[in-house]
Amino acid sequence: MKKTKTEELLEILSGQPVIPVLKIERIADAVPLARALARGGLPAVEITLRTPDALDAIRLVVDEVPEAIVGAGTILTGKDFSNAASAGARFIVSPGTTQELLDAAARSDVPFLPGAVTPSEIMAVREEGYEVLKFFPAEQAGGSAFLKSLASPLSTVRFCPTGGITPDNANDYLSLPNVVCIGGSWVAPEAELAAGNWDAVERLAREAAALARKKR
C-alpha cells in the first residue's frame, strides 16, 4: 500500500537524530556538502530558500547525490512550495503555517512539515491533519522545557525543533518523547563551507549522527 505523506515524512525524519539546516551561498558547495553530510551519516538535509541559488542547489543535489534525501526549508509561500517540489524536494519545511501553505501542501504529493509554537497554533494545524510539526525558534520560544510541557495535553503531536540547538543542548530535546529529530545549522558552519573543508563537515555530521535519544 502507498505510504501516506505523514508516514513518508516520519520515515525521513526518524532516520537520523539531526537534520542539517543548510544555507548555500555558493552553488559549487551544494554537492560536496551534501556528500560530506551523507558520508557522516546525515543523508537527509534541509536546503533553505534563503539564498538566490537555493532551488538550483536542490536540483543539483537531487541529480548528483542519490544517497541524499533533500528537503526544502524557509518555505514561506505557495509559490515557494511548488518551486521546491518541482526542484525535487522530498519534504518541505516552513518556520510557520499559513492557509496558503496548507492549500499548496494539500495539492502536492510532497510531505509538509509546518511550523507551530503555541498550543493554539499547534491545535489549529492539528485540525488540518498534521501531527508532525516544526517547532521554531526552539530555544528562544521556550526550549526543551516548553516542548516537554506540551507532551501531555497534546500527546499525539510530535516535533522537529530547530533554532538555537547545538551539541550542548541537543540531548535535552532528543530525550523528549514528543521529539522526532532536531534541526540545526551547526553541522555546516559557514567558515568550513567557505574553506571547502568537507572533512570537517563530515566529522561534525558523524558526531551529530551519533547523538543518542538517551533519557536524561
Ligand X SMILES: O=C(O)C(=O)C[C@H](O)[C@H](O)COP(=O)(O)O
Contacts with ligand X by CB under 6 A lie at 21, 48, 73-74, 93, 95, 136, 162-165, 183-185
- Which of 5, 46, 139, 202 is the catalytic position? 46
Interior angle at CA 158, CA 157 and CA 164, nearest 5 = 130
203 vs 95: CA distance, rounded Å: 28
Q: Is residue 145 classed exposed, middle or buried when 0-12, 13-18 and 19+ CB atoms within 10 A define those classes?
A: exposed
CB of 211 to ligand X, least distance (A): 14
Closer residue to ligand X (CB): 68 or 138: 138
Closer residue to ligand X (CB): 68 or 116: 116
Q: Residue 214 catalytic?
A: no
The residue count of the chain comes to: 216
Closest to 18 measured CA to CA, from 42, 47, 51: 42
CB of 21 to ligand X, least distance (A): 4
CB of 163 to ligand X, least distance (A): 4
- Which of 5, 134, 139, 192 is the catalytic position? 134
Closer residue to ligand X (CB): 16 or 162: 162
CB of 55 to ligand X, least distance (A): 14
Q: Locate 80 and state its grid cell.
A: 515557494
Q: How many CB atoms lie within 10 A of CB 75?
A: 30
Q: Residue 7 catalytic?
A: no
Closer residue to ligand X (CB): 1 or 191: 191
Q: How far is CA 74 from CA 30, 112, 146, 149, 216, in A?
A: 17, 12, 23, 26, 31
Q: Which residues are catalytic?
A: 46, 134
